[in-house]
Structure 1
Amino acid sequence: MSPDDPQHAPATPEAGEHLPTAFTTIEQELTVFVRRARGFSAQMSREFHPDLEPGAYAMLLWLDDVGSARMTEMASYFGIGKPTVSRQLQLMEKLDLITREVDENDRRAQRLTLTENGAALVHRARGARRESFRVKFGDWPAEDVDRLAELLTRLNESLSKPNSQ
């Protein structure tokens, strides 16, 4: 492919006119989607517990998915610093949402897990969120919902790959 190929054009305002319409639409719609997702996450976080920040809610969901993790794994997964994670974890621990236990593989480290209370609250919140999706997509054909789920999975897989030039 040549440097003049639109797929390899630099991301400049001039290059924007060479992008296919689909990529322009994807960029615009993802921007709206991210903005709405942040608002939705903030709302879910407040409903979960008024003292939690949206990032803490996401951390609880992730812990529910992985079962247990070290703080460093959590910081790496979310791409945030240890002090930010530590501050969130202190509040979650105070609210009886998580517990810290000595990591059996490295006695210097701690593993984080949801408490029984934390797991129950996360499962209740997830159920409410899924019900909200069921209502919002209620007029969609089941095949479209299945396809969206498949495409979102592919999108996240693609976005997790490092950029290649």
Structure 2
Amino acid sequence: MGEKMTEDDLVTLICSISGAVQAIKRFYTEPEEIDHGASMVLGVLYRRGPSRPSAIAQYCGLDLSTVSRHARFQEDAGRLVKVTDPTDRRAHRLALTEAGLDHVDQMWRHRIERLSATVGHWSAEDARTLSVLAERLAADLGLQTPITMPDHDAVRATHRAALAETLPKGA
């Protein structure tokens, strides 16, 4: 198994993780200066499909007022719209528009390009090792399901269907 971690090992681990998280937040600066919270909301909608604001808040660990503020800004920017929740017609979900889907695609292309330029010299084995350890850490810290990237075409179809259910014909 290996030796048990000491308190010094745990402090080093916390500092390393905190440094990585801080660097990633700066790394994720978007070309259009969209903040980290707003990109989290868009990313969750992309990966999980149209969702209620309360579900997004719970998933991201943000409060509902913060998600609502980000959603309002993204709605004003034309990246998302409110759509009817088919399970409760009184409630609404948020869905990405074509502009929102394109923005998330651009955001991910930008991140992949930056990451490639920064750590592209790593071996594939090192990248896989870090990925395995990061997933293990996330699970041990309580993440129920690993974050994965869904099929691009399925994402677009899901959001388009939600828009079609809600928006008037020809809109």
Same fold (TM over 0.5): yes
Q: Which residue of 1 aligns with 2:101?
A: 119
Q: Secondary structure at the match of 1:140?
A: coil
The one-letter code matched in structure 2 to 1:126 is: W
1:23 to 10, 17, 27: 10
Q: How much identity, in percent, do the aligned residues show?
A: 29
2:81 to 92, 99, 110: 99
| Distance across 2 between alignment mates of 1:92 and 1:24 | 38
Residue 109, structure 1, aligned to residue 91, structure 2? yes
Q: Which has the larger radius of gyration?
A: 1
Q: Secondary structure at the match of 2:133?
A: helix
Equivalent residue pairs, number: 141
Q: Which residue of 1 aligns with 2:168?
A: none
User: How big is each residue's C-alpha offset from its partner over 1:67-105, in whole Å with a ceiling of 9 and x where there is no partner?
Assistant: 111011011112222222111111111101111111011
Q: Displacement, 1:38?
A: 2.3
Stretches of 4+ aligned residues off by more than 3 angstroms: none
User: CA RMSD of the aligned region, Å?
Assistant: 2.0
The one-letter code matched in structure 1 to 2:81 is: T
Q: Displacement, 1:155?
A: 1.4
Q: Which residue of 2 aligns with 1:36?
A: 23
Q: Secondary structure at the match of 1:68?
A: coil
Q: Displacement, 1:161?
A: 5.7
| Distance across 2 between alignment mates of 1:161 and 1:95 | 31
| Distance across 2 between alignment mates of 1:64 and 1:121 | 10
| Distance across 2 between alignment mates of 1:53 and 1:137 | 23
| Distance across 2 between alignment mates of 1:140 and 1:79 | 32
| Distance across 2 between alignment mates of 1:33 and 1:109 | 38
Structure 2 spans left out of the alignment, 5+ residues? 145-171
Q: Displacement, 1:140?
A: 1.3
Structure 1 spans left out of the alignment, 5+ residues? 1-5, 8-17
